[in-house]
Amino acid sequence: MLRAMDTVRRLATSAVRVKADMFSGPLETPRLSFGEKLLAFNWVFIVLITSLVCVGAAALYSVAGGSLDPWAETHVIRYCLGLGLLFLVALTDIKLWMRLAYPVYLAALLMLIAVPILGVDSGGAQRWLQLGSITFQPAELMKVALVLALARYYEWLPPKHMSNPLALIAPTAMIGIPVVLVVLQPDLGTAVLFAAVGGGLLFLAGASWIYFVFGIAGILGAIPFIWHSLYDYQKVRVMTFIDPGKDPLGAGYHILQSKIALGSGGVTGKGYMQGTQSQLNFLPEKHTDFIFTMFAEEMGFVGSLSLLSVYLLVLLAIVYMALRCHSQFARLVSAGVGITMFVYVFINVAMVMGLVPVVGVPLPLVSYGGTSMITLMFGFGLVLNAHVHRKTKFRPYEVGII
Amino acid sequence: MAESEHHKRQKRRFTRRVLMLGASQVGLFGLLGWRLRQLQVLEAPKYTLLAEENRINIQLLAPSRGLIFDRFGKPMATNTDSMRVFIVPELSTNIRDSLDRLGRVISIPGKVRARVLRLASRQSPYIPIVVDDTLSWRKFAQVNVLAPGLPGVQTDILSVRKYHGGSDMAHIVGYVGAANKVEVNEHPVTRLPGFRVGKSGVERGFELKLRGKAGVIKLEVDARGHAIRKLETLDSQQGRELVLTIDQEIQRKAMERLKDERRAAVVALDVRTGEIIAMASTPSYDPNAIIEGLKEGAWDNMANAEDDPFTNKAIRGQYPPGSTFKMVTALAGLEDDAIDLKSKFRCYGGYSYSNAYFGCWRRGGHGAVDVRKAIKQSCDVFFYNVAERIGITKLSAMGHKLGLGQTYEFGLPLQKPGVMPTPGWKRATLGKPWYGGETIIAGIGQGFVLTTPLQLAVMTARIATGREVIPRIVRPYPDEKIEEPKPLDIKPEHLAIVREGMWAVVNEGGGTAGRARIPIAGVEMAGKTGTSQVNTASSGRSSSGLKWEQRDHGLFVGFAPADNPRYAVAAIVEHGGSGSRAASPVVRDVMTALIERDPVSKPTYVARDGYRQTAGDKRRPGEG
Task: Give the span between the Cα atoms of A252 and A239, in whole angstroms.
Answer: 9
Measured at the CA of A374, the angle between CA A371 and CA A378, to 5 degrees, comes to 140
The per-residue pLDDT for A125 is 61
Among the partner-chain residues A200, A206, A305, the one whose CB lies closest to the CB of B13 is A206
The per-residue pLDDT for A12 is 47
Percent of chain B with pLDDT over 70: 94
**CB within 8 Å: A203 and B21:** yes
Specify whether the CB–CB gap between B222 and A280 falls below 8 A: yes
Smallest CA–CA distance, residue A120 to chain B, in Å, is 32
Smallest CA–CA distance, residue B28 to chain A, in Å, is 8
Please compute the mean of the pLDDT values over residues B171-197 and round it to a whole number: 82
Q: What is the three-class DSSP state of B161?
A: strand
Specify whether the CB–CB gap between B214 and B61 falls below 8 A: yes
**CB within 8 Å: A265 and B26:** no
Exposed, middle or buried, B534 (CB in 10 Å: 0-12/13-18/19+)? middle
Measured at the CA of A376, the angle between CA A105 and CA A119, to 5 degrees, comes to 55
List the single residue in A with minimal CA-CA distance to B45. Answer: A264
Torsion sign (Cα): A70, A72, A77, A82: positive
Choose from B6, B11, B34 for mutation: most chain A CBs within 10 A. Answer: B11
Among the partner-chain residues A162, A264, A308, the one whose CB lies closest to the CB of B48 is A264
Tell me the range of A241-250, A385-394, B263-272, B549-558 where mean pLDDT is highest: B263-272
The per-residue pLDDT for A7 is 52
Please compute the mean of the pLDDT values over residues B259-275 and round it to a whole number: 94
> Under CATH, which number does the domain B248-296+313-601 receive?
3.40.710.10
Q: Which of B58-62, B270-274, B287-291, B365-369 is the least confident region?
A: B58-62
Task: Give the span between the Cα atoms of B616 and B593, in whole angstroms.
Answer: 45
The correct answer on CATH 3.90.1150.10 for the domain covering B78-163 is no
Q: What is the three-class DSSP state of A151?
A: helix
- Choose between A62 and B607: higher pLDDT: A62
List the single residue in B with minimal CA-CA distance to A307. Answer: B33
Exposed, middle or buried, B492 (CB in 10 Å: 0-12/13-18/19+)? exposed
List the single residue in A with minimal CA-CA distance to B14. Answer: A204
Statement: residue A15 has pLDDT above 60: no
Other C-beta atoms lying within 10 Å of the C-beta of residue A92:
16
Exposed, middle or buried, A385 (CB in 10 Å: 0-12/13-18/19+)? buried
The per-residue pLDDT for B405 is 94
Among the partner-chain residues B39, B46, B221, the one whose CB lies closest to the CB of A353 is B39
Closest CA to A149 of A95, A87, A97: A97
The per-residue pLDDT for B345 is 93
DSSP state for residue B451 in the 8-state scheme: B
Report residue A299's pLDDT band, with 50, 70 and 90 as the boundaries: very high
Report residue A239's pLDDT band, with 50, 70 and 90 as the boundaries: confident
Task: Give the span between the Cα atoms of B251 and B268, in whole angstroms.
Answer: 9
Torsion sign (Cα): A281, A287, A289, A293: positive
- Choose between A298 and A227: higher pLDDT: A298
List the single residue in B with minimal CA-CA distance to A328. Answer: B11
- Residues of chain A contacting B46 with CB distance shorter than 8 Å: 263
Statement: residue B236 has pLDDT above 70: yes
Q: What is the DSSP string of A101-137?
A: HHHHHHHHHHHHHHHHHH-EEETTEEEEEEETTEEE-
Choose from A264, A285, A308, A346 for mutation: most chain B CBs within 10 A. Answer: A264
Task: Give the span between the Cα atoms of A369 and A364, in whole angstroms.
Answer: 9
Specify whether the CB–CB gap between B420 and B405 falls below 8 A: yes
Q: What share of chain B is helix, strand, coil (3-state, %, to 5)?
A: 45, 20, 35
Report residue B577's pLDDT band, with 50, 70 and 90 as the boundaries: confident
Q: What is the DSSP string of B368-405?
A: EE-HHHHHHHT-HHHHHHHHHHH-HHHHHHHHHHTT-S
Spatial neighbors of B418 by CB under 8 A, at least 6 apart, are: B318, B404, B405, B406, B449, B450, B451, B452, B455
CA dihedral A97, A101, A107, A113 (to 10 degrees): 140
Closest CA to A65 of B26, B306, B228, B401: B228
- What one-letter code names the amino acid at A235? K
Specify whether the CB–CB gap between B177 and B294 falls below 8 A: no
The per-residue pLDDT for A397 is 73
Identify the bridge partners of residue B532 per DSSP, sorted by sequence position.
B553
Architecture of the structural domain at B57-74+170-241+612-624: Alpha-Beta Complex (3.90)
Specify whether the CB–CB gap between A278 and A297 falls below 8 A: yes
Among the partner-chain residues B8, B18, B44, the one whose CB lies closest to the CB of A322 is B18
Task: Give the span between the Cα atoms of B453 and B287, in whole angstroms.
Answer: 23
Statement: residue A394 has pLDDT above 90: no
Task: Give the span between the Cα atoms of A127 and A114, in whole angstroms.
Answer: 10
Closest CA to B565 of B486, B464, B456, B460: B464
Exposed, middle or buried, A210 (CB in 10 Å: 0-12/13-18/19+)? exposed
Statement: residue B537 has pLDDT above 90: no
- What one-letter code names the amino acid at A286? K
Task: Give the span between the Cα atoms of B19 and B480, in whole angstroms.
Answer: 85
Statement: residue A23 has pLDDT above 60: no
Other C-beta atoms lying within 10 Å of the C-beta of residue A99:
15
In chain B, CATH 3.40.710.10 covers 248-296+313-601
The per-residue pLDDT for B379 is 93
List the single residue in A with minimal CA-CA distance to B17. Answer: A204
**Residue range A199-226, pLDDT digits in tens:** 999 999 988 888 888 888 888 888 888 7
Spatial neighbors of B22 by CB under 8 A, at least 6 apart, are: A315, A316, A319
**Residue range B340-351, pLDDT digits in tens:** 999 999 999 999
- Residues of chain A contacting B21 with CB distance shorter than 8 Å: 200, 203-204, 319, 335, 339
Please compute the mean of the pLDDT values over residues B208-237 and round it to a whole number: 82
Among the partner-chain residues B18, B22, B44, the one whose CB lies closest to the CB of A264 is B44
**Residue range A108-141, pLDDT digits in tens:** 999 998 887 877 666 556 677 776 666 778 888 9
Among the partner-chain residues A265, A280, A305, the one whose CB lies closest to the CB of B228 is A280
Smallest CA–CA distance, residue B306 to chain A, in Å, is 56
- Residues of chain A contacting B40 with CB distance shorter than 8 Å: 262-263, 265-267, 296, 300-301, 304
- Residues of chain A contacting B48 with CB distance shorter than 8 Å: 263-264, 266
- Residues of chain A contacting B9 with CB distance shorter than 8 Å: 159
Choose from B5, B14, B229 for mutation: most chain A CBs within 10 A. Answer: B14
Specify whether the CB–CB gap between B524 and B561 falls below 8 A: yes
The per-residue pLDDT for A122 is 61
**Residue range B136-148, pLDDT digits in tens:** 888 888 888 887 7
Q: What is the three-class DSSP state of A335?
A: helix
List the single residue in B with minimal CA-CA distance to A350. Answer: B32
The per-residue pLDDT for B620 is 36
- Residues of chain B contacting A26 with CB distance shorter than 8 Å: 4, 7
Statement: residue A6 has pLDDT above 50: yes
Smallest CA–CA distance, residue B217 to chain A, in Å, is 18
DSSP state for residue B582 in the 8-state scheme: I
Statement: residue B124 has pLDDT above 80: no
Identify the bridge partners of residue B77 per DSSP, sorted by sequence position.
B68, B163
- The mean of the pLDDT values for chain B is 88
Q: What is the DSSP string of B172-234?
A: HH--EEE--HHHHHH-GGGGSTT-EEE-SHHHHHTHHHHH-B-EEEEEEE-TT--EEEEEEEE
List the single residue in A with minimal CA-CA distance to B33. Answer: A305
Half-sphere exposure of B129 (CA within 13 A, CB side): 25
* Pairs of CB atoms within 8 A across A/B: 145
The per-residue pLDDT for A20 is 41
Specify whether the CB–CB gap between A352 and A284 falls below 8 A: no
**CB within 8 Å: A350 and B32:** yes
Specify whether the CB–CB gap between B322 and B530 falls below 8 A: yes
- Residues of chain A contacting B25 with CB distance shorter than 8 Å: 312, 315-316, 319, 342
**Residue range A333-366, pLDDT digits in tens:** 999 999 999 999 999 999 899 888 777 788 999 9
